[in-house]
Chain A
Amino acid sequence: MIMDMRDAFFEELLFAARRDSRVVFLTADHGATALQKFESELPERYINVGISEQNMIGVAAGLASSGKIVFAYGIAPFVSLRVLEQLTLDVAAMDLPVNIVSVGAGFTYSTDGPSHHGLIDVAALLAIPNLSILNSSDPCNTKFFIDLSIRARKPHYIRIDKEKLEDLNRCVPFEKTASLGYSLLTSGGCKDFLVVSTGYITHRVYQILDAIASSGRDNFSHIDMHQINPITKSTIDFLSQFGTIITVEEGSARGLGCNIFHYLSSIHPRVPKIICLGTQHGYVFRATSRAELLEENLDLENRLRDSLDWKVK
């Protein structure tokens, strides 16, 4: 299925809000076509707070402490970096069911410059204890995040995309492994390399690996990791079976890559070699398409091929 990721998320959210009167939606004046239906059908639970993200997170915390399940929506840097303290103290430290819905991962807002790029949100938020971070890569897992976050009744930061994306080609149906936090996309013949990607860029990684596999090479596997934090015990056990792990993310490699290293080094006795691929330039000023910025700042195909050429011990 090919679907606009915001449609996938917000249609599912409307279904959930119809079923559960505790669900409240807040936005800091950011919209989406799929939200129009929510606003017209449940206007009393759709609140545009205006361009005031700090107040929005405080309001979300106050609503949640009064029994509501809140989804608070905005552009990635504004609902992460700008409200870092509100997320830490009002939401995560108070352990409230507030779900931050963040659109604009990586270079989504490609021509809008560093103010709108979502390159360090994950890296920054990983330092907040008790905040789960989910990253959507296709309509299938995007929809799943609604049910997951409502059931968990915990603080979440949920990245959704604004592209039209196709469901990933998983080795097993998503429902069967969703709770693990990752999906297996390519299963190699041996455990030399594991490529771990997350979000939109998983599609590009899959294409590159598919081309490499067609040349006859099969000593790598590939997973899409939708749950960046916390990393489950089963995921750690799975990761630790490989000789080398290559992480790929559309943003600072101090996000997913560092978190995998952190978990493996602190929990598991055996730490594989880890190569973290992320954006290589801190601030990107050139205004051009997402595809071009990805190419320039990740140089993905070359770096992925180079990484897979590391000698296996």
Chain B
Amino acid sequence: MMKDPHLNFEEKARQIRIDVLNAVHGAGKGHIGGAFSIVDILVSLFYGGSLQFRPSEPTWEGRDRFLLSKGHAGVALYAVLADLGFFPKEELRRLNRGGLLGEHPDPRIPGVEFLSGSLGHGLPVANGMALADKMDGRDRRKTIVLMGDGECYEGSVWEAAMFGAHHQLHSLCAVIDRNRLITHGSTETINRLEPFMEKWLAFGWDVFEVNAHDYANLKAAWSHHWSKTKGTPTLLICNSVKGKGVSFMENEAHWHHGGIRSELYTQAYLQLKE
């Protein structure tokens, strides 16, 4: 994908958030909080010019692989894929109503690499993809897997963390949406994840902590990963705000999933439009 040098990332993210808001409002309910927290990560990745893909040829052999392991935020990925032309934007209006798009990504959807929805599956699968590329001497291409911080309670994540580092899968980058909230509250009060970075460092990963809403920060992280030709996999801890972009949703756990009443939808829309 060629990079558009004139693209305003913040403006693109604002438009994507409006698409997400409209899709979830139309569907009646959805995982809007965790979708908003990853919008900037997706925009910086898909519009930044490094990730290779072809919207007209989704299964193109030369593509980099992107897996959304926190599948409940699928609507954010759908908004990006629709904007890039993987499928018509009208599909967003049919979210969860018998069309192409369901709450969790599935492989029927152009641009979706792998089924997700149950947490803790993406990193093991990404390990396998990166390992295949390493075996075939094709490890210039990248495998990116986006997970939630709450997903890291799953034991399979840590099984996979050991494996990726042991096999020095340098083409693999795991991105963690560290919004610090799960469905019923704070990760740190419910079942502490900290010291989070130290855990990943101890597992042997090349760890970076970035602001998930700062494009310069994200760009530097992607550049680091794309320049890598050997060594251990990359782990980006993206400190994010759940519900980012709409004041009354920000850092509120109850916006993890649900419907949006009409007056709140209007407020949210006006805030994003500003």
Q: How far is the CA of A52 from the CA of B126 in the complex (A)?
A: 16
Chain B residues with CB under 8 A of A85? 118, 121
Interface flags for B216-244 (1: CB within 8 Å of A; 0: not) read 00000000000000000000000000000
On whether the beta carbons of B162 and A50 are closer than 8 Å, the reply is: yes
The verdict on B102 contacting chain A, using a C-beta distance below 8 Å, is no
Chain A positions within 8 Å of B123 at CB level? 58
**In chain B, what residue has the closest Cβ to A56?**
B124
Interface contact A52-B163, CB-CB below 8 Å: yes
Q: Flag A166-184 by CB within 8 Å of B: 1 or 0 each.
A: 0000000000000000000
* Contact in complex: A62, B118 (CB < 8 Å): no
Question: Is A59 a contact of B162 with CB atoms below 8 Å?
Answer: no
Contact of B131 among A52, A54, A63, A89 (CB under 8 A): A63
CB–CB B163/A55 < 8 A: yes
Interface set, chain A 234-252, CB cutoff 8 A to B: none
| Nearest chain A CB to B44 CB, angstrom units | 24
CA distance A47 to B117 in the complex (A): 28
Size class of A's contact patch? 20 to 34
In chain A, positions 42-68 with a C-beta closer than 8 Å to chain B are: 44-45, 47, 49-50, 52, 54-68
Q: Does B128 contact A61, Cβ atoms closer than 8 Å? A: yes
- Which of B107, B124, B133, B162 is A58 in contact with, Cβ under 8 Å? B124
Contacts of A55 in B (CB 8 A): 124, 127, 156, 159-160, 162-163
CB distance from B9 to the nearest CB of A (A): 30
Interface size on B, residues (CB 8 A): 27
Say yes or no: is B132 at the interface (Cβ < 8 Å to chain A).
Answer: yes
In the complex the two chains form, what is the Cα distance from A67 to B156 in whole Å?
A: 23
A227 in the interface (beta carbon within 8 A): no
> Cβ of A94 and Cβ of B159 under 8 Å apart?
no
Partner of B125 from the list A45, A49, A65, A68 (CB cut-off 8 Å) is A65
Please tell me if A90 contacts chain B, counting CB pairs below 8 Å.
yes
B107 touches A62 (CB 8 A): no
6 additional contacts (CB under 8 A) given A47-B131, A54-B120, A65-B125: A50-B163, A55-B160, A58-B124, A59-B128, A62-B125, A62-B130
The 9 closest A-B pairs by CB, nearest first: A62-B128, A58-B124, A66-B132, A55-B159, A52-B159, A59-B128, A54-B156, A62-B129, A62-B125
Question: A residues within 8 Å of B by Cβ?
Answer: 24, 44-45, 47, 49-50, 52, 54-68, 85-86, 89-90, 93-94
